[in-house]
Amino acid sequence: MKKFLKYTAYTVIVVVLIVLAGISYITLALPNVGKAEDIKVEATPQRIERGKYLANNITLCMDCHSTRDWSKFAGPMKAGSLGAGGEKFDANVGFPGDVDVPNITPYHLKNWTDGELFRAITAGVKKDGSAIFPLMPWESYSKMSREDVYSVIAYLRTVKPIESNYPERKLDFPLNILVHTMPQKATLGTVPDEKDTLKYGEYLVTIAACKDCHSQVNQGKIIAGLEYAGGRDFKVPGAGVVRSANITADKATGLGNWTKEQFVSEFKRYADSTKKPVDVGPGQYQSIMPWYRYGEMKTGDLEAIYAYIKTIKPVKNQVVKFTPAETRD
């Protein structure tokens, strides 16, 4: 009996040591995507203009890294907050931790090299070598062309510096360990000819990370067979639970019966500068879809996105888009 207990104790010690060694390796050696490239992006007018369009209307860097007014429908960006960060992800929105979206104006990025920015955008690694949690969809951004990433970097350097600082993120266990394993080396893509409507539409849908929001996930992974079929939960404090729409070509529950004109006009109605955002009261229907940013997309780009979406395998998945929060009188 004594020998059994002795061997059991040894076994437990060995297992604990192995676990500790594994955790030490993960937290100290990872992520490992390589050093930041030694590059200097030339800020040409063409790159700045292209980067402005991408960051504001396609990849939505500026939408996520600004403060949104959730008292209005679709949470329009608050004036004067462009790139200053500040949106919070915590238990109030169902997030396993506490993350303040960082400042990406030159105030915060002035000491970042272009190579460090390139690595952050495409591989999910910060200046200090730590992992970026994929709230920022760097895996989708890694499919951008090198030139498009350069354009975004060039534009970010021109944004008005805003002084704002936030506390370091806190992730719940075991996410605080697993996050180190998430970054991956970039697999850059190319921008197809706009005349190749389907390929160009696929490129836009990919770098806009449409699949991330419009697919249900389990433990952070998209559920196979439900790609683009909607139904992912997003909790909006004070409003309720919003679920992404089914954007597959299913005729009963998706966009199968939508015409190109209907699709484009659904976005463009939010580009009307004469219309003021609608107030949203407690428990009233809300949307996290950044309609105001997407509404300013080029018509040709929206048409290309529509063309590609129509080729996505139809998935029958009826989505209850909104469940209001309980409100008290």
Asked if residue 139 has pLDDT above 80, the reply is yes
Q: What is the mean pLDDT of the chain?
A: 90
Q: What are phi and psi of 99, to 5 degrees?
A: -130, 125
Q: Is 187 exposed, middle or buried (0-12, 13-18, 19+ CB in 10 A)?
A: exposed
Lowest-confidence range among 15-24, 75-84, 271-280?
15-24
Which among 286, 326, 111 has a CA at the least distance from the CA of 277? 286
Quote the pLDDT of residue 12.
46
Instruction: Please give the residue that has the higher pLDDT: either 48 or 7.
Output: 48
Eight-state DSSP code of residue 193 = -
- Chain centroid offset of residue 268 CA: 22
pLDDT at position 85, please? Answer: 96
DSSP 8-state class, residue 36: P
CA angle 255, 256, 262 (to 5 degrees): 60
pLDDT band at 2 (very low <50, low <70, confident <90, very high): low
Which position has the token pair 């939960």?
A: 233
What residues contact residue 314 under an 8 Å CB cut-off, 6+ apart? Answer: 248, 249, 250, 251, 254, 256
183-203 residue pLDDT tens: 999 999 999 999 999 999 999
- The three-state secondary structure class of 106 is helix
Tell how far CA 234 is from the center of its chain: 13
Residue 276 has a pLDDT of 84
Read off the pLDDT band of 22 (50, 70, 90): very low
Total count of residues recorded for the chain: 329
pLDDT tier at 227, thresholds 50, 70, 90: very high
Q: What is the pLDDT of residue 170?
A: 94
Q: What is the pTM of this model?
A: 0.91
